[in-house]
Structure 1
């Protein structure tokens, strides 16, 4: 067995694994950059769901890279195709420390969010990977019955699309590839496209609720506790909410000009320090 591994990977299998992991990140990062550009025209031409589905490409590209190299190598050991300037052991230790640190950050954020859930201050959100559970705002949170119905419809879309699992996978990739800024960009944009896809699905089924839906979105931006493993939209600044409401306003005239302008103006005033 040892001789067969050496024939494929060369005398240092660890160096191959480390090098292949770096190469997979380079290829996957290039795929992230491509998707980040293509998702915008695709969203306009076909819709948010199509743009969201593009995010399957970066992990596929990253996983396929070492497989293609293994499948296409000749008599030259695959390990000889890679040459890192540092030892595989040193690189592995640095990677492990970074992955553990980011995992701890996510675990603390998840624990804090669950504490908010127990205190009745969390929501709207979807939690749970195997058996997703919808969290609605508390009865005294200021949402009307119609707004709560729209929130429930939005979160049900997340459950139907298995978005909590996708968000958890994105967090896993962030931990594994913590050194790659494009992976963190992909996780951010994926969550944005998740929300846009669910927004579009709700509006398709309830076109008469466009204005009310936009006003409900404004209310949901006022919570600040992040949820790494689930579907939730914490307030991170003006831009994500502008995108969501702007899409409601532009796409097929989903919002009237006056409704869209009023909601965006209210958003600016509420988020501005």
Structure 2
């Protein structure tokens, strides 16, 4: 459970950095490449969320001699009495929030689909609804359909209808419905994130602006007609979370302003693409690299040097160790346990990272074992006579004895 919480916190932090970076880069990207490049910059967000979860190059792990800490050398409590409960409570709250957001989004999508009423196919490949809960729109994910309102033919001229349908076909061709599904999933997983509501609204706005640009850029003479078509349609209905709507009243002014801009030259557009790719690569590299090397004297501590390997390679060996302190809460309750640590040792013999591989019982002894391991020093491993980084797998056993805790 603690691994799940740490993963959520790590990805949330990098997601925040990605959103802030997108917000700061938007003016520059808009000048360089227009709405399409700005929309493409949102790739930074999912990449930044996934990068910290990618595996890092593994260092060969050598099994080390076990470490034991006995319950007769206590000072102040390292863990509160209810420490084992808070990870489970936080996970339960997160799950409840994720399920709640998922239910709300599914209900909103179903209400929108049901409000359209029966659909009938049209000769132009779209579908006509019996009611208008916020149409035209591209509705669905697995088999998306372009759905228009019952008064579509009456409200728009033939040329205007063709522009609307081109807009929705562009959404479908560029898989924007899958992007909306990804946003819906992120809203479930990161429902607690304070920047997510703004990021969702801004993403959907950039999606519509990019689709507008793709529709009118091949036909510059139709920009004025396209703007007047937008003015004919005002969306006042609740929108579906997984639908690409033609009408969008909150961003109508921004969409019309974008249509007044001239088509951009190829060189600035390419520059914008280069900037986006550079930002994605740089941010993801940093997020991925962030995983790396990520009282009273205790008695009863036992440790043995790590045996040497082959003639060419010698494993790291213990030089100086500090025994873990037995948590007071565990001692008072008579709890014993075992923690298996992965200890990464640098070429200078110092501990660079400590990770918990397993712990029994969970949430009791991990902090004490990790805190102690970070202060250990080793004789570094040797490869062909040169010190190199290495990793050790060290089991730490916490055992009870009959002695009372020190005052």
TM-score band (shorter)? 0.7 to 0.9
**How large is the Cα RMSD of the aligned pairs?**
2.4
Does the Cα contact within 8 Å between 2:168 and 2:246 map onto a contact in 1? Answer: no
| Change in 2 beyond 3 A, CA 1:71/1:58 | farther
Q: Is 1:22 matched up with 2:9?
A: yes
Q: Is 1:173 matched up with 2:172?
A: no
| Change in 2 beyond 3 A, CA 1:132/1:72 | same
The corresponding residue for 2:90 is: 91
The corresponding residue for 1:52 is: 39
In the TM superposition, 1:1-273 aligns within 5 A as 14-67=1-54, 71=57, 87-118=86-117, 119-122=130-133, 123-139=135-151, 142-232=155-245, 235=248, 237=250, 240-252=251-263
Shift of 1:72: 7.0
Does the Cα contact within 8 Å between 1:224 and 1:234 map onto a contact in 2? Answer: no
Larger RCO (CA within 8 A; separation ≥ 6): 2
| TM-score normalised by L of structure 1 | 0.76
Q: 1: CA distance between counterparts of 2:200 and 2:22?
A: 12
Does the Cα contact within 8 Å between 1:136 and 1:151 map onto a contact in 2? Answer: no
Shift of 1:212: 1.2
Q: 2: CA distance between counterparts of 1:175 and 1:219?
A: 34
Shift of 1:219: 2.6
Q: 1: CA distance between counterparts of 2:15 and 2:249?
A: 26
Structure 1: tracts of 5 or more residues without a match:
1-13, 76-84, 254-273
| Change in 2 beyond 3 A, CA 1:227/1:248 | same
| TM-score normalised by L of structure 2 | 0.52
Further displaced range: 199-208 or 138-147: 138-147
Shift of 1:40: 2.8
Does the Cα contact within 8 Å between 2:236 and 2:249 map onto a contact in 1? Answer: no
Does the Cα contact within 8 Å between 2:170 and 2:211 map onto a contact in 1? Answer: yes
- SS of the residue corresponding to residue 87 of structure 1 reads helix
Does the Cα contact within 8 Å between 1:39 and 1:52 map onto a contact in 2? Answer: no
Shift of 1:201: 1.0
Does the Cα contact within 8 Å between 1:136 and 1:148 map onto a contact in 2? Answer: no
CA offsets 1:40-63 (integer angstroms, 9 cap, x no match):
321221121111111111111111
- SS of the residue corresponding to residue 250 of structure 1 reads coil
Does the Cα contact within 8 Å between 1:25 and 1:62 map onto a contact in 2? Answer: yes
Q: Which has the higher strand share?
A: 2
Aligned residues: 229
Shift of 1:151: 0.5
Q: 2: CA distance between counterparts of 1:61 and 1:99?
A: 20
Shift of 1:39: 2.4
Does the Cα contact within 8 Å between 2:164 and 2:246 map onto a contact in 1? Answer: no
Does the Cα contact within 8 Å between 1:226 and 1:234 map onto a contact in 2? Answer: no
Q: 1: CA distance between counterparts of 2:166 and 2:23?
A: 27
Shift of 1:181: 2.2
Shift of 1:25: 0.6
Shift of 1:17: 1.9
